[in-house]
Structure 1
Amino acid sequence: MMSLVLAMVWTRRGQAVTLALLSLFAVASAVASPAYLTAIDRAIAAGQIQTSTPAERSLVITGMQDARQDSGAPDFTDVGPALIELPGFTYIFGSSYPVIGLRPDDRNADRMVFRQDVCAHLRILTGRCLVGEDDIVVGTATARRLGLTAGDQVSLRFAAYVEMPRPQWVPDGEPRRLVVAGTYEVDDPDDVYWGTHGYFATLPGVGAAEPVFTGATTFNTTDHGLTDLSVDGLAGPGALDPDRLGELRAGLQGLIDKAREIGPSLQVNTAIPALLDRIDSGRATAHLLVPVLAVPLVLLACFSIFLAVGYGTEGRRPELAVVALRGARWWTRWWLAIGESLAAIVVGAVAGCLAGQLLVNAVAAARFPGVGIEEGWASLRYAPYAALAALAAAVLAQRRQLVSPVVTLLQRPVTAGRHRAITLDAVIVLLAVVSVGQLVITDGSLTGIGLLAPALVMLALALLAGRALLPLVTRYAAGALAAGRLAPALAGFQLSRRPGAQRLFALLVATVAVAGYATCAIDVAARGRVVQAELGVGATRVLEVEPVYRSRLLHAVRQVDPEGRFAMAAARLRNSDGREPLGLAVDSTRLTTVPTWPDDAPPSDEVARALRPEAPAAPTIGGPDLSVKATAAGIVKGKELRLNVSVSSLTGLGETKVALGDLRLGESVYRQRVDACEQGCRVNGFQLQVNGNVVGVTGEVTIESVSGGSSGLTDAGRWRMERHGRISATPEGLRIEVDEPGAMPEGAWAQPVDTPYPLPVGYAGGRPPGNVLTGLDGRTIAVTGVVGLPAVPRLGEHASLVDLEYADRLATDATPALLPEIWLNARAPADVVDRLTAQGLKIRSDTRSATVLSQLAEQGPALSLWFHLLAGGLAVLLGAFVLVLAAAVDRARRVEDLSALRVQGLRRPTMSRATLWTYPALVGIAAVTGMLIALAGWAATAWALPLAGVDPVQLPLPSWPRVLLLVGVTVLVLVVLAAVALATGRDLRRRITPS
Structure 2
Amino acid sequence: MTGLVLAMVWRRRGQAVTLALLAMLAVASAVAAPAYLIAADRAVAAGQISTAAPGELGLSIAASLNPRAGADPLAPPPLDFTTVAAALVDLPGFDYVYATEYPAVGIEPSLEFASRMVFRQGVCDHLTLRAGRCPAGEGELLLGERTAARLGLRPGDPVTLTGARFNDDAQTPGYVPAAVPQRLTVVGTYTIRDAGEAYWGSHGYFTATPGRGPGEPVFTLMATVAAMDHPGSDVSIDGTAGPAALDVDRLGDLRAGVDRLGDTAAKLGSGVQLSTGLPGLLDRIDAGRAAARQLVPVLAVPLVLLACFSIFLAVGYGAEGRQDELAVVALRGARWWTRWWLATGESLVAVLAGAVAGCLAGQLLVNVVAASRFPGVGVDPGWSSLRYAPLAAVAAVAAAVAAQHRQLLSPVSTLLRRNPARRGRRVLITEAVVVVLAVVAGLQLALSNGSLTGLGLFAPALLILAFALVAARLLVPVLTRGAARALRRGRPGTALAGFQLSRRPGAERLFALLVATVGVAGYAACGVDTAARGRDVEAVLGTGAARVLDIGPVYRQQLLAAVRAVDRNGDFAMAVSRLPSGGPAVPSGLAVDSTRLAAVAAWPDGAPAVRAVAARLRPDAAEPAAFAGTDISVAATTTGLGVGRRLRLSLALSSVDGRGDTEVQLGLLQPGRRVYQQRVRLCQGGCRLNGIGLTAVGTALGITGRVVINELGTVNPVATAVPAERLRDPGGWRMAANGRLAADPDGLRIDLDASGGLSAAAWVQPADTPWPLPVAHAGPLPPGAVLTGLDADPLPAVPVAELPAVPLLGRHGTLVDLEYADRVAVDAAEAQLPQVWLNDRAPADIVDRLSARGLTVTGDHRAGLTALRLAAQGPALALWFHLLAAGLAVLLGAGGLVLAAAVDRGRRVEDLTALRVQGLGRRAAGRATLWTYAVLVFAATVVGLLVALGAWALTGWTLPLAGLTPPDLPLPAWPRPGAMLGACGAVAAVLFLVALATGRDLRNRVEAKTVNGRNG
TM-score, scaled to structure 1: 0.96
SS of the counterpart of 1:202?
coil
> Which of residues 86, 101, 104 is equivalent to 2:106?
101
> Which of residues 853, 867, 889 is equivalent to 1:839?
853
SS of the counterpart of 1:83?
coil
> Which of residues 421, 424, 433 is equivalent to 2:430?
424
Give the drift of 1:485.
2.3
SS of the counterpart of 1:207?
coil
Give the drift of 1:608.
1.9
Which stretch has the larger CA shift, 526-535 or 509-518?
526-535
User: In the TM superposition, what are the counterparts of 1:634-713 in structure 2 within 5 Å?
Assistant: 634-637=640-643, 639-690=645-696, 695-707=701-713, 709=720, 710-711=722-723, 712-713=726-727
1:114 maps to what in 2? 119
1:960 maps to what in 2? 974
The one-letter code matched in structure 2 to 1:452 is F
SS of the counterpart of 2:650?
strand
CA distance in 2, matches of 1:70, 1:906: 114
The one-letter code matched in structure 1 to 2:125 is A
Give the drift of 1:470.
0.6
CA shift in 2, pair 1:128/1:73, >3 Å: farther
2:534 maps to what in 1? 528
1:822 maps to what in 2? 836
Give the drift of 1:256.
1.1
CA distance in 2, matches of 1:94, 1:216: 9
Deviations 1:780-818 (A, max 9, x none): 111111111222222222211111111111111111111
Give the drift of 1:73.
9.0
Which stretch has the larger CA shift, 275-284 or 233-242?
275-284
2:172 maps to what in 1? 166
The one-letter code matched in structure 2 to 1:915 is T
CA distance in 2, matches of 1:868, 1:845: 36
Deviations 1:500-529 (A, max 9, x none): 211110110110111111122222222222
Give the drift of 1:770.
4.2
Does the 8 Å contact 2:117/2:217 carry over to 1? Answer: yes
SS of the counterpart of 2:637?
strand
CA distance in 2, matches of 1:552, 1:850: 29
Does the 8 Å contact 1:769/1:800 carry over to 2? Answer: no
Matched, 1:943 2:992: no
Give the drift of 1:684.
0.9
Give the drift of 1:862.
1.8
- Structure 1, gaps ≥5 residues long: none
CA shift in 2, pair 1:285/1:639, >3 Å: farther
CA distance in 1, matches of 2:645, 2:234: 45
SS of the counterpart of 2:88?
helix
1:231 maps to what in 2? 237
1:66 maps to what in 2? 66
SS of the counterpart of 2:48?
helix
1:793 maps to what in 2? 807
SS of the counterpart of 2:742?
strand
Give the drift of 1:38.
1.3
SS of the counterpart of 1:668?
strand
Matched, 1:144 2:160: no
1:731 maps to what in 2? 745
1:472 maps to what in 2? 478
Which stretch has the larger CA shift, 349-358 or 156-165?
156-165
CA distance in 2, matches of 1:693, 1:75: 51
User: In the TM superposition, what are the counterparts of 1:141-540 in structure 2 within 5 Å?
Assistant: 141-164=146-169, 166-540=172-546
CA distance in 1, matches of 2:474, 2:405: 25
Does the 8 Å contact 1:154/1:180 carry over to 2? Answer: yes
CA distance in 2, matches of 1:680, 1:300: 77
Aligned positions, number: 995
The one-letter code matched in structure 2 to 1:885 is L
SS of the counterpart of 1:156?
strand
CA shift in 2, pair 1:211/1:556, >3 Å: closer
Give the drift of 1:357.
0.9
> Which of residues 773, 778, 784 is equivalent to 2:792?
778
Does the 8 Å contact 1:767/1:788 carry over to 2? Answer: no
User: In the TM superposition, what are the counterparts of 1:539-688 in structure 2 within 5 Å?
Assistant: 539-575=545-581, 577-637=583-643, 639-688=645-694
2:895 maps to what in 1? 881
CA distance in 1, matches of 2:62, 2:827: 34
1:84 maps to what in 2? 89
Which stretch has the larger CA shift, 438-447 or 951-960?
951-960
> Which of residues 935, 946, 964 is equivalent to 1:932?
946
Deviations 1:240-280 (A, max 9, x none): 11121122112111111221222211111111111112222
2:45 maps to what in 1? 45
Give the drift of 1:766.
6.3
Does the 8 Å contact 1:575/1:775 carry over to 2? Answer: no
CA RMSD of aligned residues (A): 2.2
User: In the TM superposition, what are the counterparts of 1:16-55 in structure 2 within 5 Å?
Assistant: 16-55=16-55
CA distance in 2, matches of 1:785, 1:770: 11
Which stretch has the larger CA shift, 124-133 or 419-428?
124-133
CA distance in 2, matches of 1:967, 1:392: 36
1:896 maps to what in 2? 910
CA shift in 2, pair 1:324/1:692, >3 Å: farther
CA distance in 1, matches of 2:83, 2:318: 75
Give the drift of 1:695.
4.3
Give the drift of 1:13.
1.3
CA distance in 2, matches of 1:743, 1:297: 76
SS of the counterpart of 1:707?
strand
SS of the counterpart of 2:678?
strand
CA distance in 2, matches of 1:986, 1:209: 79
CA distance in 1, matches of 2:462, 2:770: 58
CA distance in 2, matches of 1:202, 1:634: 47
Give the drift of 1:192.
1.2
Does the 8 Å contact 1:94/1:114 carry over to 2? Answer: yes
> Which of residues 136, 143, 147 is equivalent to 1:131?
136
2:864 maps to what in 1? 850
SS of the counterpart of 1:590?
helix
Which stretch has the larger CA shift, 66-75 or 170-179?
66-75
Give the drift of 1:68.
0.7
CA shift in 2, pair 1:693/1:195, >3 Å: farther
CA shift in 2, pair 1:637/1:354, >3 Å: farther
Does the 8 Å contact 1:93/1:230 carry over to 2? Answer: yes
2:984 maps to what in 1? 970
The one-letter code matched in structure 1 to 2:94 is F
Give the drift of 1:189.
2.4
SS of the counterpart of 2:599?
coil
SS of the counterpart of 1:208?
coil
Give the drift of 1:634.
3.5
> Which of residues 921, 924, 933 is equivalent to 2:935?
921
Matched, 1:56 2:62: no
Give the drift of 1:664.
2.5
SS of the counterpart of 2:920?
coil
Give the drift of 1:854.
2.2
The one-letter code matched in structure 1 to 2:927 is R
SS of the counterpart of 1:656?
strand
CA distance in 2, matches of 1:109, 1:766: 47
Does the 8 Å contact 1:624/1:677 carry over to 2? Answer: yes
Deviations 1:91-123 (A, max 9, x none): 222111111122233221111212223343344
1:866 maps to what in 2? 880
**Paired-residue identity, %:** 59
CA shift in 2, pair 1:287/1:689, >3 Å: same
CA distance in 1, matches of 2:781, 2:770: 21
